[in-house]
Amino acid sequence: MLYKIKRFIDCHVPVNLCNFQCDYCTVGQWRAIDGKGPEKYTLFKYPVEQMAAGLSKERMGGICSINLCGNGETFLHPQLLELVELLLKDGHFVSIVTNGTVTKSLEYLYNLDYEMRSRIFLKFSFHYIELKKKNLLEKYFRNVHNAHKAGLSLTVELVASDSNVALIDEIKQVCMKEFGVLCHLTDPRANTTNDIRHLTEMPMDEHIKVWSQFESALFDYRQATWGQNRKAHFCYGGVWSFNLDLGTGRLKQCYRDAKTVQYIFENVEEPIHFVPRGHFCSLPHCFNSHVFDCHAGAVPDIKSPEYIELRNRVLPDGTEWVKEPYKTIYSVKVCENHKQYTEPEKIFADAMMALSSGIEPPVEFKAVFEAYLSDISINKKIELYEDNEFTKWLKDNISDKFFGKENNERIIIVTSFSDFAQIKPQIEKETDAEIVSIVDIPYLS
């Protein structure tokens, strides 16, 4: 069977609980350690069946690669497995980030039918110091081996932290003994700082030299893209890749200040109105370049290796951590399953980002927008729904000939695109006019 991944969705699982206390904890569990943090976990706001319907392959336009990661140990969220099973039943690929110690949850996955579990990828984070301290190394390796035997795809990933440096020789020996290969490496980063800097006290050249002995393409790619902002590039985050909060259903283009695309678990009948980040990535470097570039190809003009190179290892017995069908989907980028935008579509998308942020849009936008309106408004008049700065700019700059209420045939354009799915039912009660989100204008004619 030929699988084509339509979108990559990185999901935040609302769990802060963890049985470990790693010194470099990059996902925020540390906030809960001293008792000042948030609740241990938050139950999903919507029933899991509704969440799965919100993420259905019909609504997404095809099969998705869905990654699940908590702010603590992902498997400690009590509703996680139910959701995973529903997503797999719908045909999606599901990857889960875990510290590899919640055996009961892992065993639940091994008992799914073979085809379904072949669409599971486990990212076994290798927290060596904690595993050793808590006498859990044996259990951890048993879980990795059992996942491999059960036909799941996996990778083993160590954090290249300063605290692990003194243990490098020991860690290498353990990896060779247990797997016959070395683990991959990720670089810890200061997630909450503006510069998203490296979390190392070592000089960078020394840090890179020390860790390059693991020959991890994952580590190498992170270094290659670190510190390079994406302002000159058009990013399709919001169309091909996303960040989704499973607690609330808020689908965003990316992390931090990226725009909300839609609250997708409410009003699941409403199609998703995709809107790309375009030239508006505000981060000092791509937050997770290894997956957004190498798996999603979210910025297609940036060349990157295939994701499989960053995740796989071939074991001495010839078996591989990444198996089919993951081998296939990690060898083709999501962007290869899409057409890129035309120049007018890019200008339009950039204008959506600009106007929704109170910034002047590209100079070409007026002409582009009027051309789209000419295509769709023959015998129809446009009405703008809300009173906001976005609408004001359009009223002040777009030709009056497109606007009017007097004609029966009307198209009502909603400029608050993130809230369109909630606003539309309210307008529908008052009118039978066609109601559209502004982000869909280029695709209406």
> Which residues does 192 contact at the CB level (< 8 Å), separation at least 6?
none
Q: How far is CA 377 from the centre of its chain?
A: 36
Can you tell me the distance from the alpha carbon of 383 to that of 277, in angstroms, rounded to the nearest whole number?
26
End-to-end CA distance of the chain: 35
To the nearest whole angstrom, how small is the minimum distance from the Cβ of residue 334 to ligand SF4?
Answer: 12
**CA proximity to 27, closest of 68, 67, 71, 69:** 71
To the nearest whole angstrom, how small is the minimum distance from the Cβ of residue 26 to ligand SF4?
Answer: 6
Nearer to ligand SF4, 124 or 330 (CB): 124
To the nearest whole angstrom, how small is the minimum distance from the Cβ of residue 295 to ligand SF4?
Answer: 11
To the nearest whole angstrom, how small is the minimum distance from the Cβ of residue 60 to ligand SF4?
Answer: 18
Nearer to ligand SF4, 147 or 411 (CB): 147
CA dihedral sign of residues 172, 174, 176, 180 = negative
How many C-beta atoms lie closer than 10 Å to residue 232's C-beta? 10
DSSP secondary structure letter of residue 135: T
To the nearest whole angstrom, how small is the minimum distance from the Cβ of residue 349 to ligand SF4?
Answer: 12
How many C-beta atoms lie closer than 10 Å to residue 19's C-beta? 14
**CA proximity to 141, closest of 109, 107, 177, 114:** 177
Nearer to ligand SF4, 293 or 320 (CB): 293
To the nearest whole angstrom, how small is the minimum distance from the Cβ of residue 293 to ligand SF4?
Answer: 8
Nearer to ligand SF4, 130 or 220 (CB): 130
Contact 18, 72 (CB under 8 A): yes
Nearer to ligand SF4, 230 or 424 (CB): 230
Nearer to ligand SF4, 225 or 377 (CB): 225
Interacting residues toward ligand SF4 by CB under 6 A: 18, 20-22, 25, 27, 29, 72-73, 99, 125, 127, 230, 235, 237, 241, 254, 258, 277, 281, 283, 286-287, 292, 298-299
Q: Nearest 5°: CA angle at 433, between 427 and 438? A: 70
Nearer to ligand SF4, 44 or 126 (CB): 126
To the nearest whole angstrom, how small is the minimum distance from the Cβ of residue 436 to ligand SF4?
Answer: 25
CA dihedral sign of residues 415, 420, 422, 423 = positive
